[in-house]
Amino acid sequence: MTYPAFLERRFGTQAASHQSLVAVELRKLGIEPAFAAITNLPDSCPALAAVLWLQRRGRSAQHFVGSVFAALYCHGQDIGDPIVMENLLSREMLAFGDIQEFMHSDDFGDELRDTEASVAAWSGRVIPSVRINGAVVFGAQTPSVLIPMLR
């Protein structure tokens, strides 16, 4: 899926304004986003597996998560690409092969299912959303946004 299509599906009619607001906030932190360089929605499963792998071994995943964030949002790199992931993991002195092995294990599958169930139990209550004529509208919206959608 292309990244713009993902944003449209995720944020509906507010995708462009949402991304602009995020860019403004990132720039306030001194981070220049590279959203235009992100062409496809990357496979984040290897990154997730690496975070869980680090945590299961009592290691902090904070530095790795920061590196993944910078690779994707500041440099527009495909974090699902094995070469990119190998580079990011090497900074943590991890082998991509170990992460791939963990990704294919029952332990990873079980943990992923448990996490999804836990998140699903509370996430639906966090940000209200409605679907109007096929568009997803998140959060409180002004009448100027909602009225044209209802016509």
| pLDDT, tens digit (0-9, with 9 covering 90-100), for 100-135 | 999 999 999 998 888 888 777 766 666 667 777 777
The tally of domains found in the chain comes to: 2
Write down the pLDDT at residue 122. Answer: 65
92 and 24, same structural domain?
Answer: no
Asked if residues 61 and 55 have their Cβ atoms less than 8 Å apart, the reply is yes
| pLDDT, tens digit (0-9, with 9 covering 90-100), for 5-50 | 888 888 887 888 888 988 998 899 899 999 999 999 999 999 999 9
5 and 55, same structural domain?
Answer: no
Please report, for the domain that includes residue 85, its CATH number.
Answer: 1.10.472
55 and 10, same structural domain?
Answer: no
61 and 111, same structural domain?
Answer: yes
103 and 58, same structural domain?
Answer: yes
Write down the pLDDT at residue 88. Answer: 97
116 and 74, same structural domain?
Answer: yes
| pLDDT, tens digit (0-9, with 9 covering 90-100), for 49-101 | 999 999 999 999 999 999 999 999 999 999 999 999 999 999 999 999 999 99
48 and 5, same structural domain?
Answer: no
Write down the pLDDT at residue 121. Answer: 72
Residue 31 structural domain? 1-41
